């Protein structure tokens, strides 16, 4: 078998700005074998600034201006870390990340944009929102629009900053909120000072026609919940105050030791830092020392090919670096709220609906680059494969990659019964049970085929997944052994990747009181992470047996990880949906287990065999039937839509064999009962009169828990209603 090219170089991209998004798209079409790309960004999407005014005005929905970084990273073969960079260890060549292990780099590029935050303005942090970053602002704006529509508060908006951004936002807000809205634009000096004479006259006329109150030469001095106070002592009524004055760099850059200009990274024509040639900066966060330019997305877009060329040249160790020369002037198309625009170039006054249509075409053409990523040719087998009835879908990662329950049960049935006296016979549960002095020890093992290229995220989820068997038996985690298969990589990359894996594992096992005591590593075709875990019980562990007729069934996590991961592998799962699944999988269940275990008659964790398969294990062991309330079963956001679109895990067909012992109406929602879960929740049978109090306690500690059904007498069978 031909093995993949070993990883020998690491390029880290901090921020999902326009330059980095374009770079990832170009990289996906022509990657360098052996180079690992890592994108670090706080969220799964990045907003395109050119369409934000249209979104505020109501012409575009939120999805129209979002670049999906999850899909883009999958296309580029890049690792995506959904967290915020907080610093750079330049000596160790590592990016420091909030809540996660540092990530090593050989080359680093920064494209984190800027903020229009105004921390020095009293009350701004508590009562206002910055127009940048765009994602946070769009969230606040949507919430405000909904409150106004519901009559919960008046349509009063104040915008601080009378440049192009502020004027566009003022006109867009006035259009969206309607003629009854009160919109004020506050400028400390001269409005639109950087705009040509013709465009300035046109925009001022649009402000007047729209009824936007312009307060020029009278700066804001404080912000309150319902007004902005100006220097002359007057108050502007405002239930939403927006900061659009200037651009501020993120503060953590000051601690990097890199040369800065007003907080922005000083870069050479090659886009390299003046201080460190291994570090690049692009977009609004970069200060072009050779030719300073205003903060505008057009420059970021044109920097991307130069950045890509220079990173490739350094990664390959050959080729001259290319300089970036920004254009002297560029056409600005400024939206006027309604579907019209003003053009700013050469001092002319050009305006009208045709210009908005032109701007819309430009913006839509740019976003189309990310909505419809090129279809890359898949590697073909060297010869036609033998027939055998294997599924035609790719093998999933996570618990979707395990063997099906029927095959596993046939194999386990052939094993002899345990002969050792310290093995508790006939347990047949989530973990093996050993008699241990006056108490009991449970032991289990789990490993997962990687579904994310981020070793830290993968290790944390796998550790939580492995502990599920211990938690479900009411045991206290004791020790863990790691089993790690790394993809082929150079020794330095091996060390850094193993460091990330073990630090992530410690973040899960440590708080649970378990020690990591060793393990085994090897190299292979792809990353696989596993843990063998033991736990201790003073009393006999909880098993699948012991459930009673009349018990309520409590589920502590939503289901749907299998369908989401399957769709993500195909590049068809929305980034926000994937991020939600990762967040759910990354939530430990130790606190939930300690809350439920003293009251549970039987408990299991919901993993690869899906909710239906794991419930049937309880029914078989307890000789009971179950009724499920389909509407009560919590689902991960987006899971049902993906199931309706026909997505499903490669393990789904095997899991569906459980349907032979179920009565239900077939459909996408019932398909999710067979969806294999990775790091899923606990499923517990508890006395019906105790279920409400337990559920309330679970919800109070942040679990997405629900009572999903009940148990009754009868043959092991599930009725879904």
pLDDT, greater one: 1 or 359: 359
193 in any annotated domain:
yes
Same domain, 122 and 52: no
Whether 537 is a known active-site residue: answer no
DSSP 45-103: EEE-GGGHHHHHHTSS-GGGGEEEHHHHHHHHT-EEEES-EEEEETTTTEEEETTEEEE
> Do residues 66 and 162 share a domain?
no
Q: What is the CATH number of the domain that holds 616?
A: 3.90.650.10
The reply to whether 532 falls in a domain is yes
What pLDDT is recorded for position 359? 93
Identified catalytic residue from 399, 466, 473, 642: 399
Domain count, the chain: 4
Q: Are residues 224 and 149 in the same domain?
A: yes
> How far is it, in rounded angstroms, from Cα 595 to Cα 698?
8
Last residue of a domain, one of 540, 573, 600: 540
> pLDDT per residue over 645-686, tens digit each?
999 998 899 899 888 999 999 999 999 999 999 999 999 999
**Entry pTM:** 0.91
486 lies in which domain range? Answer: 430-540
Is residue 18, in this structure, part of any structural domain at all?
A: yes
Q: How far apart are the first and last CA of the chain?
A: 49
| Residue 143 shares a structural domain with residue 17 | no
Residue 603 belongs to some domain of the structure: yes
One domain, residues 264 and 215: no
* Same domain? 352 vs 440: no
Same domain for 628 and 709, yes or no, is yes
Nearest Cα to Cα of residue 311 among 357, 366, 270? 270
- Looking at the domain assignment, is residue 382 inside a domain? no
- What residue has token string 């369409």? 51
pLDDT band at 1 (very low <50, low <70, confident <90, very high): very low
User: Is 384 inside any structural domain?
Assistant: no
**157 and 145, same domain (yes or no):** yes
- Mark which of 276, 296, 328 sits at the end of a domain: 328
* Range in 331-340, 390-399, 704-713 the model is least confident about: 390-399
The CATH number linked to 217 is: 3.50.50.60
The domain boundary, picked from 494, 515, 540, lies at: 540
Instruction: Mark whether 593 and 721 lie in a shared domain.
Output: yes
Q: How confident is the model over 100-127, as pLDDT tens digits?
A: 999 999 999 999 988 888 989 999 999 9
**Structure confidence by residue, pLDDT tens digits, 433-468:** 988 788 999 999 999 999 999 999 999 999 999 999
Segment holding 536, helix H or strand E: strand 528-537
Q: Sign (positive/negative) of CA torsion 481, 487, 491, 492?
A: negative
675 found inside a domain: yes
Query: Do residues 619 and 471 both lie within one domain?
Result: no
Domain-located, residue 530: yes
| Domain co-membership, 529 together with 593 | no
Question: Do 697 and 601 reside in the same domain of the chain?
Answer: yes
Treating both helix axes as pointing N-terminal to C-terminal, what angle do 561-569 and 69-76 enclose, rounded to 10 degrees? 50
């Amino acid at each position: 078998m031909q093995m993949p090219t070993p990883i020998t170089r690491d390029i880290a991209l901090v921020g999902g700005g326009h330059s980095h998004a374009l770079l990832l798209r170009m990289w996906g079409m022509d990657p360098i074998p052996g180079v690992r790309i890592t994108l670090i960004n706080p969220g799964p999407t990045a907003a395109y600034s050119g369409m934000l005014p249209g979104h505020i005005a109501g012409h575009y929905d939120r999805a129209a201006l979002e670049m999906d970084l999850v899909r883009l990273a999958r296309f580029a073969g890049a690792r995506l870390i959904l967290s915020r960079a907080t610093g750079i260890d330049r000596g160790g060549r590592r990016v420091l990340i909030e809540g996660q292990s540092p990530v090593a780099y050989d080359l680093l590029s920064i494209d984190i944009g800027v903020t229009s935050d105004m921390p020095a303005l009293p009350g701004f942090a508590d009562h206002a929102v910055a127009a940048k970053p765009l994602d946070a602002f769009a969230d606040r704006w949507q919430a405000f629009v909904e409150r106004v529509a519901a009559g919960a508060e008046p349509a009063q908006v104040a915008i601080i900053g009378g440049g192009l951004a502020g004027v566009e936002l003022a006109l867009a807000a006035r259009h969206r909120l309607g003629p009854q809205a009160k919109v004020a634009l506050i400028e400390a000096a001269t409005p639109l000072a950087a705009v040509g004479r013709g465009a300035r006259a046109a925009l001022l006329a649009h402000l007047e026609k729209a009824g936007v109150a312009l307060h020029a030469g009278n700066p804001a001095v404080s912000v309150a919940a319902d007004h902005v106070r100006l220097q002359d002592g007057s108050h502007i009524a405002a239930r939403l105050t927006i900061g659009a004055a200037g651009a501020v760099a993120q503060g953590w850059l000051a601690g990097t030791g890199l040369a800065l200009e007003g907080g922005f990274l000083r870069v050479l024509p090659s886009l390299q830092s003046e201080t460190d040639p291994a570090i690049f900066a692009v977009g609004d966060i970069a200060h072009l020392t050779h030719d300073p330019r205003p903060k505008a997305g057009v420059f970021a877009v044109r920097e991307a090919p130069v950045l890509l060329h220079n990173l490739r040249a350094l990664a390959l160790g050959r080729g001259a670096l290319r300089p970036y020369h920004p254009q002297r002037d560029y056409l600005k198309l400024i939206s006027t709220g309604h579907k019209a625009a003003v053009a700013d170039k050469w001092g002319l006054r050009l305006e009208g609906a045709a210009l908005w249509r032109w701007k819309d075409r430009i913006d839509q053409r740019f976003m189309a680059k990310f909505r419809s990523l090129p279809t890359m040719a898949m590697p073909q087998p060297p010869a036609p494969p033998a027939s055998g009835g294997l599924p035609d879908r790719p093998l999933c990662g996570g618990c979707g990659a395990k063997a099906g329950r029927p095959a596993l049960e046939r194999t386990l049935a052939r094993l002899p019964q345990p002969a050792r006296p310290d093995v508790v016979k006939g347990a047949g549960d989530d973990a093996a049970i050993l008699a241990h002095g006056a108490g009991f020890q449970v032991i289990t093992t789990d490993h997962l085929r990687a579904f994310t290229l981020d070793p830290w995220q993968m290790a944390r989820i796998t550790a939580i997944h492995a502990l599920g068997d211990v938690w479900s038996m009411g045991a206290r985690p004791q020790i863990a052994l790691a089993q790690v298969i790394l993809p082929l990589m150079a020794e330095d990359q091996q060390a850094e990747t193993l460091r990330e894996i073990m630090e992530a594992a410690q973040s899960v096992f440590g708080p649970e009181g378990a020690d990591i005591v060793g393990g085994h590593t090897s190299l292979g075709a792809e990353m696989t992470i596993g843990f063998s875990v033991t736990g201790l019980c003073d009393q006999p562990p909880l098993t699948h047996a012991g459930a009673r007729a009349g018990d309520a069934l409590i589920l502590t996590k939503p289901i749907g990880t299998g369908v989401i991961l399957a769709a993500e592998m195909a590049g068809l799962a929305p980034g926000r949906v994937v991020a939600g699944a990762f967040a759910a999988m990354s939530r430990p269940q130790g606190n939930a287990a300690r809350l439920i275990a003293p009251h549970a008659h039987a408990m299991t964790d919901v993993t690869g065999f899906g909710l239906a398969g794991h419930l049937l294990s309880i029914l078989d062991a307890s000789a009971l039937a179950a009724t499920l309330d389909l509407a009560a079963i919590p689902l991960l956001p987006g899971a049902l839509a993906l199931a309706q679109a026909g997505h499903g895990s490669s393990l789904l067909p095997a899991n569906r064999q459980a349907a032979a012992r179920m009565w239900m109406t077939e459909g996408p929602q019932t398909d999710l009962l067979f969806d294999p879960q990775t790091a899923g929740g606990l499923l517990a049978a508890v006395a019906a009169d105790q279920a409400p109090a337990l559920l309330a306690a679970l919800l109070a500690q942040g679990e997405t828990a629900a009572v999903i059904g009940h148990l009754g007498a009868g043959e092991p069978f599930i009725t879904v209603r």
